Structure 1
Amino acid sequence: MELNRDTINKIRGLILFTVITVIVGINYIKVLGLLAAAVNMAAPFILGAAIAFVLNVPMRRIESSLSHVLKKGSRLLRPVSMALSILLVAGVLFLVMFVVAPQLVRTLLGLQSSIPVFFGEVRQWLEQLFAENPQILINMEQIQIDWQQLFNDSLKFLKNGAGSMLDTTFSAAISIVNGMSTFLIGFIFSIYILLQKENLIRQIKKLLAAFLPERTVEGIVRIAALTSRTFSNFFTGQCVEAVILGSMFFIVLVVLRLPYALLIGVLIAFTALIPVFGAFIGWAVGAFLMLIISPMDALLFSVVFFTLQQIEGNMIYPHVVGNSVGLPSIWVLVAVTLGGSMMGVVGMLIFIPLCSVLYTLLRDTVNERLKRRKLSVKPDDLKRDSAEN
């Protein structure tokens, strides 16, 4: 091998990469700690980028519509579009709060009278159960409880809990202040991003072009555009699907004259933003509220829920959300499961479009390599393999 300048640079790069990899492998705990500290420091800016991305979805449409009224190069076009987007998102949140809050207050007031009746019925049922099965009482009397030890343990828990409760109160107050300051900084940062997004994109492209090969830059830009488009389509489709599902539940519950129709409809619409499993949270809350009033209402609501869930899962979701991300349903389930186990609710929302991007890149790479090798997988081959299996 000839030791020219390019070969020497490649060897140096390989040696440097090996040294860095070994150092990181030996001190991986410290490296992870530094990464966590860096993410914590950058949290306001990460939040600001996320807010800007969400606000940019309606802002693009509003800006496109206003371009027919205002001139495309007008300085007012971007600020007006951004202000209308913020007002739209904030208006939806406030509208939901003002609609749900009175209904929630009425529900809680109604539960004050319903819960004693419910527990009274449970008590009567238990008394009847014990009267018909006296063996249960005999077995319960044989259970030995050390009341003195139980009292001492409770007193010890209260003594230790008093100090921890004070510490928890201070920690909660500090967390609230930090959260508000993080949100405020992130919101201001998102405004700067939205007002200067074209300049930021151009600066990032220039930075990449200055240090990376042209082919690598083109690949990064293509992946970034695909990621932005996929995430935007997913969040838009998820919001539309949540509104449709919440409206369906509200209309059906009103027609069947079941209680808490508005509250449950809005609750299911919000929880449906969590893919696949979110609506079941609304079902659990709604079934519990109806169970206190009437077990038959809770049973009817459960039947309605699973019926509408099947309609939504088989007819609405694939067309509204599935087509927007281009991810098969089996991988949607895998993405939701992995995202939920790693990052909770946020992971469920992020992993579906993220897996869609990876799926699209892998599919394009596989097709390109097959085309380069002049290979193809024909539908007849798939049918024959399925028949053999």
Structure 2
Amino acid sequence: MFELNKENMKKSLVLITFALLLYAGLNNFAHVVGTVRLLLRLLSPFILGGCIAFIFNVPMRFIENKILKKAKLKPGLKRSVSLILTILFIILVILFVFFLVIPQLASTIRGLFISVPKAVERFQMWLLSLDIPWPQIQTYIENWDMEWGNIINKILKFLQTGLMGSIFTTVGVVTSIVSGFFNFFIGFVFAIYILCQKESLVRQLKKICYAFLSVKQADRVIYIAGLTEKTFSNFLTGQCLEAVILGTMFFVAMSILRFPFALLVGVLIAITALIPIVGAFIGCGIAMFLILTVSPIRVIGFFVLFNCLQQFEGNIIYPRVVGNSVGLPAMWVLMAVSLGGSMLGVVGMLIYIPIFSVLYTLLREKVNKKLKQQKVPSKKWESLEKKES
């Protein structure tokens, strides 16, 4: 029976307030969306700074706790040295991509303008050698002329008058670029402050939780926050390590077997492998196209090499080096990648796996707690698994 006491009055007021806010929000949905977008635009430098700080924190923590563990430095100085080394490491990676990979990529693109017409011509000659029994198709193949000069001129004209022209003549785009650099600068400075004072920030956030929540609720919020941070860190570390190992394996194997574009394909595989499940296959498809323009017969060899290295890395190296970094079954990983990709693209693929992992862990804990409270014996579900197996 409902009793009109102070506690129930408080709950009723909260529900009524929530219902009124929800009703007002639905009636003014366009204004609500506009306000949310405005807030996100204003807070975007700080959101970006938080993301940068989280990414930088993974290598910085490794340097601070592992490499500089025995160094006789004050905690503040050790943090500063770790942060500087982390920034230098990120800069070196960016410089590596710019000065080693991009020139080779530019050279490859220039080579494509030469090799693709020749490859198409060889393909045309191969089709003619098949003696196709349909005269109309045979005549079409004989008269097939791609007119590569006109195609290249159209592409260059589009870049000059269309895309590039809009970039350099539209004031709004230039303003957006300047605004983007400014937001990145503010976010980077904000990330530095977070990394230098992360213990103090964590302590302040805990104080806020315990001040406005009950001790039980605050403990739960802090536990979930810690679980989320640990899961995202493990996932980021695992994906980066897997990508580096896979890219290095491809570079070494392709160099030994004299495949073309060894360095470019190795870096390409490493970058695309950051995307869970499908990333390495995207890199494989691009690499096969590049090799196809040089030696079509070697595409088959590269495909065999890709499958061998992918199986070796996935079944032997990854479980030992990375392990089960997020604690999520393969079925849920596939679901997270599919849902995240359909909603937020590549970014969704990356963030939905750790999010699903956190939800899966919390649900598993809740289920186990309920089973323990109801005193359900484990043989009730273990016997079903044995029967199914």
Q: TM-score w.r.t. structure 2 length?
A: 0.86
- Whole-Å separation in 2 of the counterparts to 1:273 and 1:343: 16
- Aligned partners of 1:340 and 1:319: how far apart in 2? 28
CA distance in 2, matches of 1:183, 1:34: 22
Kindly indicate whether the alpha-carbon contact (under 8 Å) linking 1:253 and 1:261 is maintained by their aligned counterparts in 2. yes
Return 246-255 or 228-237, whichever deviates more: 246-255
Task: Specify the code of the residue in structure 1 equivalent to 2:43.
Answer: A
**Greater mean deviation of Cα atoms: 377-386 or 126-135:** 126-135
CA distance in structure 2 between the partners assigned to 1:185 and 1:136 by the alignment: 62
* Counterpart among 70, 73, 77 of residue 72 in structure 2: 70
Task: Provide the rounded CA distance (Å) in 2 between the counterparts of 1:82 and 1:306.
Answer: 39
Residue identity over aligned pairs, in percent, reads 49
Moved more, 14-23 or 359-368: 14-23
Alignment correspondent of 1:325: 326
CA drift of 1:166 comes to 5.4
Change in Cα spacing, 1:7 to 1:227, as seen in structure 2 (3 Å) is same
Whole-Å separation in 1 of the counterparts to 2:18 and 2:377: 38
Counterparts of 2:162 and 2:81, CA distance in 1 = 52
Contact 1:24 / 1:31 at 8 angstroms: preserved in 2? yes
Deviations 1:157-199 (A, max 9, x none): x9xx979985565244333222211211111110011111111
Contact 2:128 2:138 in 1 (8 A): no
CA contact (8 A) 1:59 1:82 kept: yes
Match of 2:53 in 1: 52
Aligned to 1:299: 300
Answer whether contact 1:336 1:348 (CA < 8 A) is retained: yes
Q: CA deviation at 1:99?
A: 2.5
- Of 129-138 and 249-258, more deviation after overlay is shown by 129-138
Whether contact under 8 Å (1:67, 1:77) holds in the other structure is: no
Matched, 1:175 2:171: no
**Cα 1:132/1:172, change in 2 over 3 Å:** farther
**Separation in 1, partners of 2:96, 2:377:** 54
Superposed displacement of residue 205, structure 1: 1.4
1:308, distance to aligned residue in structure 2 (A): 2.0
Partner of 2:153: none
Q: 1:98: Cα distance to partner?
A: 2.5
Paired AA for residue 381 in structure 1:
S
* Counterpart-to-counterpart distance in 1, 2:348 and 2:200: 30
Matches within 5 A, 1:72-221: 72-73=74-75, 75-125=76-126, 128=129, 133-136=134-137, 169=168, 170=170, 171-221=172-222
Q: In structure 2, what is the Cα distance between the partners aligned to 1:353 and 1:318?
A: 18
The aligned amino acid for 2:315 is N
Distance in structure 2 (CA, Å) of the matches to 1:115 and 1:162: 25
Is 1:36 the equivalent of 2:31? no
1:304 Cα deviation from its structure 2 partner: 1.4
For the 8 Å contact 2:291–2:298, the answer to whether it is kept is yes
Q: Is the 8 A contact 1:322 1:329 kept in 2?
A: no
1:234 and 1:321 in contact (8 A); partners too: no
2:331 maps to amino acid: I
- Residue 309 of structure 2: aligned partner: 308
Q: 1:162 to 1:268 in 2, by over 3 A?
A: closer
TM-score of the aligned structures, taking structure 1 as reference length: 0.86
CA contact (8 A) 1:322 1:328 kept: no
Using the TM superposition, give the Cα deviation of residue 334 of structure 1 relative to its aligned residue in structure 2, in angstroms: 0.8
CA distance in 2, matches of 1:179, 1:361: 37
Do the aligned residues in 1 keep the contact of 2:47 with 2:187 (CA within 8 Å)? yes
- 1:276-287 equivalence runs, <5 A: 276-287=277-288
Which residue number corresponds to residue 359 of structure 1?
360
8 Å contact kept, 2:132–2:138: no
By how many angstroms is 1:79 displaced? Answer: 1.5
Range with bigger deviation, 107-116 or 301-310: 107-116
1:218-238 C-alpha deviation (Å, 9 max, x unpaired): 111001111111111111111
**Alpha-carbon deviation of 1:85?**
1.0
Please name the residue that 1:386 is paired with. 388
Q: Which runs of 5+ in 1 are unaligned?
A: 141-157
Q: In structure 2, what residue type is equivalent to 1:371?
A: K
Aligned to 1:242: 243
Task: Tell me the CA shift for residue 355 of structure 1.
Answer: 0.8
Q: Deviations over 1:77-109 (max 9, x none)?
A: 222211111111211221233232343344344
* Shift in Å, 1:127: 5.0
Counterpart for residue 154 of structure 1: none
The alpha-carbon distance between structure 1 residues 113 and 187, as it changes in their structure 2 partners (threshold 3 A), is: same
Q: Residue 5 and residue 315 in structure 1: after superposition, are their counterparts in 2 closer, same or farther (change >3 A)?
A: same
Q: Which residue in 2 is equivalent to 1:228?
A: 229
Secondary structure at the aligned position of 1:9 is classed as: helix
Alpha-carbon spacing, 1:329–1:318, altered in 2? closer, same or farther (3 Å): farther
The separation in 1 between residues aligned to 2:269 and 2:115, in whole angstroms, is 23
Q: How many residues align?
A: 368
Which letter maps to 1:176?
I
Q: Is the CA contact 1:336–1:351 (under 8 Å) kept in the aligned structure 2?
A: yes
Give the corresponding residue for 2:256: 255
Letter in 2 for 1:25: L
Q: One-letter code of the match for 1:66? A: L
Residue 54 of structure 2 aligns with an amino acid whose one-letter code is F
User: How far apart in 1 are the matches of 2:291 and 2:121?
Assistant: 16
The answer for the alignment partner of 1:336 in structure 2 is: 337
Q: Cα gap change, 1:165/1:235 in structure 2, threshold over 3 Å: closer, same or farther?
A: closer
